[in-house]
């Protein structure tokens, strides 16, 4: 339940006392700010009046009998929601007031939009020199495509990921989650934390952080990019196989799939012994990893025939017995039933006022003294507007004036 992840050693997270003003929506920004909230920051989610974050309407599925979209719930815990209409000067006035006291602003509007509203970095840093301002976008703030539309599938395609994902003779495949968004959200979190640390160690002045989905995907090409630079040949799709290791892939069993990983030479003979094919150890085609990679098609055919005669559990048992790294390929139900996943706190439960008990993945960041924690359920739209404004010094009369001026929508 909410708050259970804290240990008796501390009641606060490592970012306790920091305020994040989250003007982002959909996935990349909310994923970033959720991580900051998990780490203890006070996150104020600023949403469009009436409709809020677009993902509130991205259903089915909804959670339980409520109208709460599972997508929205997945990335908006540990936040409070405030409705502000940036099309009104009153709404912009409130945002500038909040930003003047915030440590971090995160936004992912189209490049130039916040500047049009006089809410961009240059304006806000005049009000708050300590501010760390994170701009998230598809292509970044400079370059020929800075104004072009960008969505996760486009970035997976343009950044090279889809060219190396899928079966060898099949079409390119999108990775099963919005990895371009999530990856950029992770880079944004790293960069924000680095900027905050530099502010504390330096002269106390903040800075602007610029993270793009395309840059993140290009960075994530990692060793595949180096394979290209080393050979001059673009790597292609290989299914679950690895371009530099063999065997290192999924094999079909009688009742499922098992992934086998042989990343070092000392594991190869153990694997061969486990499946009663010691003869493969002495086969000159497979003597070293380089040999096995060079003869991967032949090796794959041989192993597919051998492993196809096993049941999944039987094969996993024999491989484990011989010290060979392996796993079955699990669906979501099997993942969250895993005792290891549960022991690590990776299955969280939070009580929601309309959706009831909501299950979600936990935080993978485990800190010994100041652990992460789910302290707030994903907020209802505008649930905390008046509460937050009162904390910033607004009186009831001020709130009413702003309401009449359209700051919170019609």
Active site positions, annotated: 181
Own/partner long-range contacts of 234-243 (Cβ < 8 Å, ≥24 apart):
234/163, 235/163, 235/164, 236/163, 236/164, 236/168, 237/163, 237/164, 237/165, 237/166, 237/167, 237/168, 237/170, 237/172, 237/173, 238/164, 238/168, 239/166, 239/167, 239/168, 241/296, 241/300, 243/293
Return d(Cα 406, Cα 410) in angstroms, integer. 6
Picking from 399, 403, 354, the residue whose alpha carbon sits closest to that of residue 73 is: 354
**Strand ranges for 198-288 from DSSP E:** 208-212, 248-252, 257-261
**For residue 391, which phi and psi values (nearest 5 degrees)?**
-65, -30
Q: Are 69 and 57 in contact (CB under 8 A)?
A: yes
3-state DSSP call for residue 399? helix
DSSP secondary structure letter of residue 266:
T
């Amino acid at each position: 339940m909410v708050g259970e992840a804290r240990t008796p050693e501390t009641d606060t997270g490592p970012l306790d006392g920091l305020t994040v003003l989250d003007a982002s929506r959909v996935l990349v920004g909310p994923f970033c700010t959720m991580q900051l909230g998990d780490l203890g920051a006070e996150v104020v989610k600023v949403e469009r009046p009436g409709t809020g974050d677009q993902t509130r309407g991205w259903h089915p599925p909804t959670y339980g009998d409520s109208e709460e979209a599972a997508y929205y719930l997945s990335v908006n815990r540990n936040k409070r929601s405030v409705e502000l209409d940036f099309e009104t000067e009153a709404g912009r006035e409130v945002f500038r007031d909040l930003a003047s006291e915030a440590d971090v602003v995160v936004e992912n509007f189209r490049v130039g939009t916040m500047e049009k509203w006089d809410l961009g970095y240059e304006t806000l840093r005049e009000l708050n020199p300590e501010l760390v301002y994170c701009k998230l976008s598809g292509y970044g703030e400079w370059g020929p495509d800075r104004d072009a539309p960008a969505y996760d599938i486009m970035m997976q395609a343009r950044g090279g990921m889809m060219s190396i994902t899928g079966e060898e003779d099949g079409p390119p495949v999108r990775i099963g989650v919005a990895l371009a968004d999530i990856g950029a959200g992770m880079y944004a979190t790293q960069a924000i934390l680095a900027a905050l640390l530099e502010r504390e160690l330096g002269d106390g002045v903040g800075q602007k952080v610029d993270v793009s989905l395309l840059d993140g995907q290009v960075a994530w090409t990692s060793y595949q990019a180096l394979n290209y630079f080393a050979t001059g040949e673009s790597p292609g799709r290989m299914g679950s196989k690895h371009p530099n290791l063999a065997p290192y892939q999924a094999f079909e069993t009688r009742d499922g799939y098992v992934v086998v990983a042989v990343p070092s030479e000392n594991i190869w003979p153990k694997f061969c012994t486990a499946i009663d094919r010691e003869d493969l150890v002495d086969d000159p085609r497979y003597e070293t990893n380089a040999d096995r990679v060079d003869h991967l098609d032949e090796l794959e055919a041989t192993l597919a025939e051998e492993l196809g005669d096993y049941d999944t559990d039987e094969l996993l048992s024999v491989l484990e017995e011989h010290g060979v790294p392996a796993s079955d390929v699990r669906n979501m139900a099997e993942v969250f039933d895993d005792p290891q996943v549960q022991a690590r706190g990776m299955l969280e439960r939070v009580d929601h006022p309309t959706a009831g008990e909501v299950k979600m993945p936990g935080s993978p960041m485990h800190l010994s003294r100041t652990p992460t924690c789910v302290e707030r359920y994903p907020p209802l739209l505008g649930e905390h507007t008046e509460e937050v404004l009162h904390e910033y010094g607004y009186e009831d009369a001020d709130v009413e004036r702003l309401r009449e001026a359209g700051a919170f929508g019609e």
